[in-house]
């Protein structure tokens, strides 16, 4: 137990170190290169005015002090104000976050609900036409760029068939102060294409993972024994195969959630989905630095937390990676 706690503490310290390193990199990259005063101030301003603006923004101080002030603000939740809208950058990000999380959650549901059954089927019948077709599809899903698939989805379902709206979020329902699209029919229609687009990579990944796991499990003695006992194939698949391959599937689905949020940048831009990713692209286009920094810090935090939780959960569940090698 103490070893487990020590491991968790060590891992937490590492995560905090990563956060510091990343915040310094983000700060150096976005703040120290170029001069925000040039964008903020009237080009005809004289030297005295430029000096005043520089001092007001704290840009005349040494770099380490600027970083320290930025860090102190960030820890207190103050990430600066947007140059464009003069609204706190942290507020802008939080306001857009539910839309992105809803999209990522919907994509996860699609990937799991389709990926596991398709993977089981392909693993059960690897040489059948349907099994091969599923694998070919997953290879395509892996190699095609997300934006390309998004463009094609719009072309087929919005332009040619006219079934689904190409852009926006549709009607939303406010639940506990959070706007959600999936509770209205109109919102669901808006959500369908972006969610499928975002899900495609993880869907392909889950198909491969499930298929490989199924093929491996089917060759094991305990599956043969279960079949020899006279259990139906359906029961063997459900109880003996699926149970055993579920751990890596859950891990990958969890780990990939951060990537989904990052890849939502592309999907949100194509489908004009009003989430954090679209905000990032819009902010990059107008060089709104505080918002870019706020977005990056939020996403770094998400990644660090996901990795931390998965590592600790793994150590708790799997004796092989546990620090002392004994049960906690």
Partner 1 sequence: MRRDEARVTKCGSPMTIAAGTPLREFAAGFAQDRVAVTALAVLGLILLAAVFAPLISPQDPYSLGELDILDSKLPPGSKSAAGMTYWLGTDEQGRDLLSAIFYGLRISLGVGAISTLVALAIGTAVGLAAAHAGGWLDALIMRLVDLQLSFPAILIALVLLAVLGQGVDKIVIALITVQWAYYARTVRGSALAEKRREYVDAARCMAFGTARIVFRHILPNVLPTLIVVATVQIAHAIALEATLSFLGLGMPITSPSLGLLIANGFVYLLSGKYWISFFPGAALLVVIVAMNLTGDRLRDVLNPRLASHYGA
Binder among 157, 263, 271, 273 for partner 1 (CB under 8 A): 263
Restricting to residues 268-307, which ones interact with partner 1 according to CB under 8 A? 269-270, 280-281, 284-285, 292, 296, 299-300, 303, 307
Long-range contacts of residues 121-128, Cβ cutoff 8 Å, at least 24 apart: 122/207, 122/210, 122/211, 122/214, 123/210, 123/211, 123/212, 123/213, 123/214, 123/215, 123/218, 124/214, 124/218, 124/237, 126/211, 126/215
Is residue 152 a contact point for partner 1 (CB under 8 A)?
yes
Among 79, 122, 154, 217, binds partner 1 (CB under 8 A): 154
**Min. distance of Cβ 273 from partner 1 in angstroms?**
14
Q: Which of 57, 71, 94, 144 binds partner 1 (CB under 8 A)?
A: 144
- Residue 26 as a binder of partner 1 (CB under 8 A): the answer is yes
CA distances to 16, 35, 294 from 73, rounded to whole Å, are 17, 20, 11
177: helix, coil or strand?
coil
Distance CA(157)–CA(134), nearest Å, equals 22
Q: Are 48 and 37 within 8 A, CB to CB?
A: no
Dig out the tokens for 314 from the structure: 């793994």
- Rank residues 203 and 292 by Cβ distance to partner 1 and give the closer one: 292
- Please report whether residue 146 would count as binding partner 1 according to CB under 8 A: yes
Q: Per CB under 8 A, does 129 bind partner 1?
A: no
Lay out the site mask for partner 1 across 6-25 (x = CB under 8 A, - = otherwise): ------------x--xx---
SS3 of 82, please?
coil
Binding segment for partner 1 (CB under 8 A), chosen from 82-90, 145-153, 217-225, 241-249, is 145-153
Min separation Cβ 73 and partner 1, Å: 20
**What's the CA gap between 309 and 255, in Å, rounded?**
10
| Residue 155 within binding range of partner 1, rule CB under 8 A | yes
Separation between Cα atoms, residue 236 and residue 32, nearest integer Å: 60
Chain residues in the site for partner 1 (CB under 8 A): 18, 21-22, 26, 29-30, 33, 139-140, 143-148, 151-152, 154-155, 158-159, 166, 258-259, 262-263, 265-266, 269-270, 280-281, 284-285, 292, 296, 299-300, 303, 307
């Amino acid at each position: 137990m103490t070893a487990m706690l020590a491991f968790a503490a060590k891992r937490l310290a590492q995560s905090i170190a990563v956060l510091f390193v990343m915040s310094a990199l983000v700060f150096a990259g976005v703040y120290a290169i170029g001069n925000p005063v040039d964008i903020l101030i009237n080009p005809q301003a004289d030297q005295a005015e430029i000096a005043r603006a520089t001092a007001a923004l704290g840009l005349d101080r040494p770099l380490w002090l600027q970083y320290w002030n930025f860090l102190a603000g960030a820890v207190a939740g103050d990430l600066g104000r947007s140059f464009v809208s003069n609204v706190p950058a942290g507020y802008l990000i939080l306001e857009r976050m539910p839309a992105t999380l809803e999209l990522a959650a919907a994509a996860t549901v699609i990937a799991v609900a389709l990926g596991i059954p398709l993977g089981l089927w392909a693993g059960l019948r690897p040489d059948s036409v349907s099994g091969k077709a599923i694998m070919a599809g997953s290879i395509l899903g892996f190699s095609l760029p997300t934006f390309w698939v998004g463009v094609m989805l719009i072309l087929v379902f919005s332009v040619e068939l006219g079934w689904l709206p190409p852009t926006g979020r549709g009607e939303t329902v406010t639940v506990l102060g959070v706007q959600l699209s999936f509770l209205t029919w109109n919102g669901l229609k808006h959500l369908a294409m972006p969610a499928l687009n975002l899900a495609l990579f993880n869907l392909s990944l889950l198909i491969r993972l499930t298929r490989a796991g199924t093929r491996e499990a089917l060759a094991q003695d305990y599956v043969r024994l279960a079949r020899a006992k006279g259990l139906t194939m359906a029961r063997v698949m459900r109880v003996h195969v699926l149970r055993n391959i579920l751990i890596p599937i859950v891990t990958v689905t969890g780990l990939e959630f951060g990537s989904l949020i990052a890849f939502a940048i592309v999907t949100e831009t194509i489908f004009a989905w009003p989430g954090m990713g679209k905000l990032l692209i819009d902010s990059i286009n107008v060089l709104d630095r505080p918002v870019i920094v706020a977005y990056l810090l939020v996403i770094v935090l998400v990644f660090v937390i996901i990795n931390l939780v998965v590592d600790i959960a793994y150590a708790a569940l799997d004796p092989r990676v546990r620090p002392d090698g004994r049960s906690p």
